[in-house]
Structure 1
Amino acid sequence: MKHLTLLALILTLFGSGMVKAQEIAVLKYGGGGDWYSNPTSIPNLIQFCNANIGTKINPQPETVEPGSVSIFKYPFLHMTGHGNVYFTDEEAENLRTYLLSGGFLHIDDNYGMAPYLKRELEKVFPDKQLEELGADHPIFSQRFNFPEGLPKIHEHDGKRPQALGIFVEGRLVLLFTFECDLGDGWEDPSVHNDPEDVRQKALQMGANIVEYAFKS
């Protein structure tokens, strides 16, 4: 009965036009991690997308929680942070239903969240593993071309950047960007003092992710 009720709600949202065709929301998760980090990053990415790839995204993103039905109104969820991540079983089930229903989740490791996130993703998709995307994946050749794959924005441990994904029937439903820190590159220039060419790479890659997610 619970599953039928949720399915009915999803169908109602889609049928009523309440689903926002081109919108981004920030995911507020539990566990004590700083889900709110990089406060200027998503507004800056939205501004860049609206100016360069023809989107009309609300410049002020909403905040949603993983267990809420509100996530079904947004085709794109963004998640970031440095530390612990925790999903209840109900939240994991809600996220799984969201992703299977056509939603997209981008998780950008702001440094230190990877071990906690991978543990929690096992609740969301216990039968799937993160897979590394090759440089030939179409997410790297949307409006902007990245022939070598994910760009390196911040050094952190000096490891190579990785784009890891979860696929459902060939569709990329979740993207985890690791050892890259795109969100830091999206922030206001004064926050990290990144060179402009580095910021542009981060914004362009972010725009590719948004464009790919809205098309898929």
Structure 2
Amino acid sequence: MNRLLITGLFIYSLFSSVSAQQVAVLQYEGGGDWYSNPTSVPNLVSFCNQNISTRLDPKVATVEATDPAIMQYPFVHMTGHGNVYFSDDALLNLRNYLNAGGFLHIDDNYGIDQYLRPQLQRLYSDEELIELPASHPLFSVAYTFEKGLPKIHEHDGIRPQALGIFREGRLVLLYTLESDLGDGWENPEVHNDPAAVHEKALKMGANIIKYVFEN
């Protein structure tokens, strides 16, 4: 059964919906560049619609962490290089969103980790980030990644990790670290990525989208 996001009057189901679903990029506080990689999520949406039979709205929204309208978006993506801060209002809004069935994907664009982890601890003080093993369905739901999260851009020679927060057995937040998926989703000429690298990043992104809406 497709995963439903039920909040008030809203019921979302990606693969069975008549109208296209819209995904969003998260605008957060703290001064970090939440707006980096502007072509990445639109490119991922286009790839998913063409290759895994989704019907996502090609127009990607922007939603502030404090905005209750976040409930409209079953999938929210967050990225950046620098400082991240969630006010108490933002934490409450994000927690309500995730507990109601929403999903947040955070992709480290290199440099966000030291700022992000304390905020995630504030978001769910009773939960820890858990590394997803290569055997997790996330890595085989559409395309197979036998070694787990792929490395797209090299920074410090550290292996990539897919870290998750689970609530009542459901993955509500995915944090991809030392992979730089978002850079790989961007137009190839932005980072001079070979076609194979660009495709690999998009395929992993498609896995995330498909997993989110089918679980």
Letter in 2 for 1:209: I
2:124 aligned with 1:125: yes
Distance 1:14 1:60 in 2: 20
Distance 2:206 2:124 in 1: 26
Distance 1:92 1:40 in 2: 27
Letter in 2 for 1:64: V
Residue 103 of structure 2 is matched in structure 1 by 104
Distance 1:14 1:46 in 2: 21
2:9 aligned with 1:12: yes
Residue 4 of structure 1 is matched in structure 2 by none
Distance 1:23 1:209 in 2: 15
How far off its partner does 1:23 sit?
Answer: 2.4
Secondary structure of the residue aligned to 1:200 is helix
Distance 2:57 2:22 in 1: 6
Distance 2:76 2:176 in 1: 14
Secondary structure of the residue aligned to 2:10 is helix
Secondary structure of the residue aligned to 2:171 is strand
User: Aligned residues: percent identity?
Assistant: 61
How far off its partner does 1:21 sit?
Answer: 7.0
Residue 6 of structure 1 is matched in structure 2 by none
How far off its partner does 1:11 sit?
Answer: 1.3
Residue 201 of structure 1 is matched in structure 2 by 200
Secondary structure of the residue aligned to 2:95 is helix
Secondary structure of the residue aligned to 1:37 is coil
Structure-to-structure mapping, 1:69-108, within 5 angstroms: 69-108=68-107
RMSD value, Cα: 1.5
Structure-to-structure mapping, 1:56-71, within 5 angstroms: 56-71=55-70
Structure-to-structure mapping, 1:131-210, within 5 angstroms: 131-210=130-209
Letter in 2 for 1:92: L
Distance 1:125 1:41 in 2: 28
Structure-2-length-normalised TM-score: 0.92
More helix by share: 1
Distance 2:87 2:20 in 1: 28
Aligned residues of 1:21 and 1:75 also touching (Cα < 8 A): no
Equivalent pairs counted in the alignment come to: 204
Cα displacement string for residues 30-74 of structure 1 (whole angstroms, at most 9, x for unaligned residues): 100000000000111010000001111111201001111111001
Aligned residues of 1:159 and 1:179 also touching (Cα < 8 A): yes
Cα displacement string for residues 123-168 of structure 1 (whole angstroms, at most 9, x for unaligned residues): 2101111110000111001110111100000001110000000001
Aligned residues of 1:26 and 1:63 also touching (Cα < 8 A): yes
Secondary structure of the residue aligned to 2:117 is helix
Secondary structure of the residue aligned to 1:115 is helix
Consecutive unaligned residues in structure 2, runs of 5 or more: 1-5, 13-18
Aligned residues of 1:24 and 1:74 also touching (Cα < 8 A): yes
Distance 1:215 1:84 in 2: 33
Distance 2:63 2:115 in 1: 20
Distance 1:26 1:35 in 2: 8
Distance 2:133 2:72 in 1: 30
Distance 1:204 1:10 in 2: 30
Structure-1-length-normalised TM-score: 0.91
